[in-house]
Amino acid sequence: MKKYIFGHIIILFIFIGSLSLPAFVSANSGGMKYSVQPILPENHVKGMEGYGIYIKPNTQTLKQEFEFILTNNTTEILDLEVEVLNAYTSANGGVEYSAQESDNNTIINKSYEMKQYLKGPDKINLQGGQRKVVKFQLDIANVEGTVLGGIAFREGTETEVTNEGTLSFEIKNKINTMYGLVINFPTNKVPKFLFEPAYLDAMPMYYELRLPITLNSPLLLKNIEIEYEVLFKGEKLFFSKENIDYAPMTKTNFSIPFDYKVIEKNKPYTLKGKISYVDQNGVKQVEEFEQKVKYKDENQDSNFNITNLTKPIVKGGISTNLVVLIGMITLLIFFVFFLYRRKNKKDEKDENEKEKKIS
């Protein structure tokens, strides 16, 4: 019985681990079949290794070659996929790297998409134990400000099937090794944020406000402070303050979980707040916003209220994936408990039948 329970617990942790794998991992992560090491160019800005490769040209044009050393740490043949990524601002307020935009994350000026400037192989073959230098060509002309992106190396999707009794799990892992690339051209542009009308968005497990925010400047802004509050009929329902980062020339539908138990339809809510940041001259800037938001549903009575809402588990823009993950874990624990109870009852029944035969 202990072995049975222990087996299911192991499966539970494997399942949780597969859901929580990061999108990108360090090239030096233990246990990886390959490693990636950038050859830092002479014009790399020292002390900026946390960004990956960081170049600060004196002009608004750059044509340069970048090199990476790839090493196969196994005796088997590896086929790696390579993809150039753009930099977007996530709905939770951070810089994220992706090959394509989404409904909530876009680049407003195509001149700031890294994919169009950086060219290199899209597939790499490594023999067992082989060490290979891979080259990429960058060609940017007449651009000011920061062009931000990255290069992702991946072995492809690995599928692992785990069987335990009547349970069968198929776990797909897609592990990336990503290096950032920052090209910081001279510019006299200053940060400028634009705020569009906010709206209410229905998520699978809760509701959230969406505030479309655009950074209409070619600048990478770090440690921006956003502070907001939501009011109804003059009463403050909830508020939050947090630090975010913003990628150059990007727009995101910033996510604000609706942290209150009731939403009254067709009634105005007020979302107000401010964004504070330090500009390139070291001067603190503050930009304020105030929006009216209504939840409208053409199929419902105008007096109908949404009640019994599931409140966000964590305040302040925590990713929806976390909420979904916790829900899935809860269901899985319940399922394992159900199997344990069923197994226990079966063992008791078998034991009773054995005692009857003996007697």
Domains of the chain, with CATH numbers? Answer: 38-184 (2.60.40.10), 193-318 (2.60.40.1930)
CA distance 140 to 47: 24
Report the pLDDT value the prediction gives residue 205, as an integer from 0 to 100. Answer: 80
Can you tell me whether residue 14 is helix, strand or coil? helix
What is the pLDDT, as a whole number, of residue 14? 41
pLDDT of res. 144 = 96
More confident residue, 270 or 344: 270
End-to-end CA distance of the chain: 25
Q: Which of residues 316 and 240 earns the better pLDDT score?
A: 240
**Percentage of the residues of the chain whose pLDDT score is greater than 90:** 58
pTM over 0.85: no
Residue range 65-83, pLDDT digits in tens: 999 999 999 999 999 999 9
Cα–Cα separations (whole angstroms), residue 253 to 38, 63, 88, 110, 195: 34, 34, 12, 19, 10
Select the more confidently predicted residue: 331 or 40.
Answer: 40
Residue 154 has pLDDT above 80, yes or no: yes
Q: Residue 262 in contact with residue 218, Cβ under 8 Å?
A: no
Q: What is the pLDDT of residue 167?
A: 58
Mean pLDDT of 41-56: 93
Question: Who contacts 160 (Cβ-Cβ below 8 Å, separation ≥6)?
Answer: 170, 171, 172, 173
Longest pairwise C-alpha distance within the chain: 95
* Rounded Cα–Cα distance for residues 230 and 237 (Å): 6
Q: What percent of the chain has pLDDT over 70?
A: 70
Q: What is the pLDDT of residue 137?
A: 98
**Which residues, other chains included, contact 48 with Cβ-Cβ below 8 Å and sequence gap of 6+?**
54, 182
Nearest alpha-carbon partner for 49 in 73, 27, 64 = 27
Environment class of 31 (CB within 10 Å of its CB; exposed 0-12, middle 13-18, buried 19+): exposed
Q: What is the pLDDT of residues 280-313, one digit of tens each?
A: 888 999 999 999 998 755 444 444 444 444 443 3
For position 228, what pLDDT does the model report? 97
pLDDT of res. 343 = 65
Assess contact for 63 and 138: CB atoms under 8 A: yes
pLDDT in the model for residue 247: 97
> Where residue 51 falls among pLDDT bands split at 50, 70, 90?
confident
Q: Which residues of 177-210 are buried (b: 16+ CB within 10 A; e: fewer)?
A: bbbbbbbbbebeeebebebeebbbbeeeebbbbb
* Predicted local confidence at residue 281, as pLDDT: 84
| Highest-scoring range by mean pLDDT, 12-21, 190-199, 311-320, 350-359 | 190-199
pLDDT mean across residues, the chain: 81
- Rounded distance between C-alpha atoms, residue 283 and residue 298, angstroms: 47
Do β-strands 176-184 and 24-25 pair in parallel, antiparallel, or remain unpaired?
Answer: parallel
- How many Å separate Cα 74 from the centre of its chain? 30
Backbone angles phi, psi at 151, to 5 degrees: -125, 130
pLDDT single digits (tens) 92-129: 999 999 999 999 999 999 999 999 999 999 999 999 99
